[in-house]
């Protein structure tokens, strides 16, 4: 049989490890949430940047085509 004071000590150790585990889990979850948010923002910025680059490229192509058309008409 375990004396009363030893059972109490084991309970305190168990409580402490549960608290550490809970704190570690909460901290890990919070860090993961921040990382996911940061990654999401970076992805959104990257996509927005790519869209702007594509739109600018399309505008340049359209402007070039508009400039080229009269020249082609003159050649005919």
Distance between terminal CA atoms of the chain?
Answer: 108
* Higher pLDDT among residues 29 and 9, named by residue: 29
7 in any annotated domain: no
Tokens describing residue 27: 């901290």
Q: State the alpha helices, DSSP H only, in 1-76.
A: 4-75
Summarize pLDDT for 21-70 with one digit per residue, the tens. Answer: 778 888 899 999 999 999 999 999 999 999 999 999 999 999 999 999 88
70 in any annotated domain: yes
pLDDT on residue 6: 52
pLDDT at position 10 over 60 = no
From residue 17, alpha-carbon distances to 11, 14, 25, 53 in Å are 10, 5, 12, 53
Name the pLDDT band for 7 (thresholds 50, 70, 90).
Answer: low
50 in any annotated domain: yes
Q: Which domain holds residue 59?
A: 19-75
Q: What is the CA radius of gyration of the chain?
A: 33
pLDDT at position 9 over 70 = no
**For the chain, how many structural domains are there in total?**
1
11 in any annotated domain: no
């Amino acid at each position: 049989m375990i004396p009363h004071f030893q059972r109490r000590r084991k309970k305190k150790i168990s409580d402490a490890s549960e608290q550490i585990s809970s704190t570690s889990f909460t901290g890990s979850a919070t860090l993961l949430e921040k990382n996911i948010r940061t990654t999401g923002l970076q992805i959104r910025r990257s996509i927005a940047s790519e869209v702007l680059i594509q739109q600018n490229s399309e505008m340049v192509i359209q402007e070039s085509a508009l400039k080229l058309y009269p020249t082609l008409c003159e050649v005919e």
